[in-house]
Structure 1
């Protein structure tokens, strides 16, 4: 579907953006891939990495600026929305800025995509949007609702389709626990927020593949949740620094003990597939739409998809192997 098309990714110089651009260029050979972001230095570094590939266009802009988005989206077929203020403590202490980017920015993008007749939009969400307890999660929850409802938001109708993909902790990305522990691996003590803490573990490649799948499968309004394994944070620490002692420092402001991607409230309209779940919207009776359900199996009432009750877990040996294979890339993007 996205082969030989025009694609734009917001927040394109982030961890996900680097992987999406690299893998999409290789697999789908798009006509044009626009990297839209506000950091000129990151764009400069990314341009050098891709050796001035003629298919890539770099566009300085901010999702807070609707006029700039409108210009950037001219002749674009597909959009991936990855731009966000996403560090939990940063959002807690800078709430106005988080709301401007994550909620107002989503509204700007939705309007601009409709105005420019974009075919399909996939927005990246987070586990923190499920039963949110922090501002980042609350803004992404609102953003998810905006993208879902915008499939029928104009009285006159429109052709742009919007869907969402949701996943948890990206292994090895900047700001995640793996590069943090690696930076401290030679110290005698590692700080642990809580020894019960668990996290979902997904690779950037798996995140990109979920976005590709959403573009192929979506009719509009779906939230796609990848089935991924969990791991205890203490086990991650033991693999990276086996001799270090652990110091419990307490959970940070707005942080959850376990990650959740599907809440009990979502279970009423969630369907299971081989490698993922699909949360269908309860508005417009889309949760009962056979064209959206396809071959999905309804999850049991009361189902919750959380990192502590997961049926699949990353072993220490599997993490050691992953660290060995990815040592040159961890924390770099």
Structure 2
């Protein structure tokens, strides 16, 4: 037995009440108000395009970020006479009052704002904590205060067994969003997290860096054994929408995605280039992780995704397993980029770059 805003319910009646809301995406996002923090970033921009294409009658789509120049450039893509739903809201996730004003009347929030460059966070730790941890707290409190219904926070593979400050702050953020479900009271709000690896073509990632450095004839390699997970922007957006639709509150969703070897990536982009070894930068791992053996005790296989379930859910675990046909993973299971079952070949990497980053790319 547990309580919702409708009062005390049994597991069966809870599922009956839950089903209509779980299918709101099938009823479209039309007539809903959505806000994306960090909305001018790579994933926020792709999510914006997807929403405005698939749900042209969305009531409001608010792009919340602190970079006015990025907002100005993004606004050129969406002239107001054609895209009347989009709004641009200057603000920082460090500013709770500004968040509360922006969240007024908002139904769904996607939290994509973060300070994400590992080496910059190592050099400016206090700034990273203020944005990634303090900002997460502010988003949660503003969502609770303003009556938001669904919240999806973006995470990273670096939050799994972190060795750098960026990863540590994102792990803290993940914990805050998962635990937020325990303080929602009777409000109809669900917080969930999506965790994934390197996003192809995202700002500051290795693929655009290599594409830009190719003309110099040298592609610097930090470590020849290094591997990374790989996901496209489109698949990242798909995962966010999946969480908005299906999350019950407290889950950390992890996609089943391929890895690549950094040397294979370099050879795919610049086969004639030199590949000097420059050494691992501060805070870097050779292989990234998304699920550790310690996580395996609460991790389930959903088919397309893994899910790390909360240790104190607001719902009954057997109901969740039955509803999603979830299968517990083996104890000690781990998911890291170096031991992945699927690695991209150089030919597959090139095709992915053409498909997801630069259609004109030629090795």
TM-score (norm 1): 0.95
* 1:5-44 alignment, distance < 5 Å: 5-29=32-56, 30-44=58-72
Tell me what 1:129 maps to: 159
CA distance, structure 1, for counterparts of residue 143 and residue 48 of structure 2:
20
Following TM superposition, by how much is the alpha carbon of 1:35 offset from its aligned partner in structure 2, in angstroms?
Answer: 0.3
CA distance, structure 1, for counterparts of residue 351 and residue 359 of structure 2:
14
SS in 2 for 1:80: strand
1:275-304 deviations in whole A, cap 9, x for unaligned?
Answer: 110100112586x61233331110000011
Tell me what 1:257 maps to: 286
Q: 1:215 to 1:284 in 2, by over 3 A?
A: closer
- Indicate if the aligned counterparts of 1:171 and 1:178 stay in contact, CA closer than 8 A: yes
Corresponding position: 1:228 with 2:257: yes
Tell me what 1:325 maps to: 355
Larger Rg belongs to: 2
1:45-71 deviations in whole A, cap 9, x for unaligned?
Answer: 001012231110000000000000000
Across the aligned residues of Structure 1 and Structure 2, the Cα RMSD in angstroms comes to: 1.5
- Indicate if the aligned counterparts of 1:172 and 1:329 stay in contact, CA closer than 8 A: no
CA distance, structure 2, for counterparts of residue 22 and residue 327 of structure 1:
15
Corresponding position: 1:204 with 2:233: yes
1:190-228 deviations in whole A, cap 9, x for unaligned?
Answer: 210000000001000000000111111111000000110
Runs of 4+ in 1 over 3 A off after TM superposition: 325-330
- Indicate if the aligned counterparts of 1:270 and 1:298 stay in contact, CA closer than 8 A: yes
Q: Which moved more, 1:64-73 or 1:176-185?
A: 176-185
Corresponding position: 1:150 with 2:180: yes
TM-score (norm 2): 0.87
Q: 1:108 to 1:285 in 2, by over 3 A?
A: closer
Following TM superposition, by how much is the alpha carbon of 1:237 offset from its aligned partner in structure 2, in angstroms?
Answer: 0.3
1:292-325 deviations in whole A, cap 9, x for unaligned?
Answer: 3331110000011100111112121112122233
* 1:174-193 alignment, distance < 5 Å: 174-193=203-222
- Indicate if the aligned counterparts of 1:114 and 1:159 stay in contact, CA closer than 8 A: no
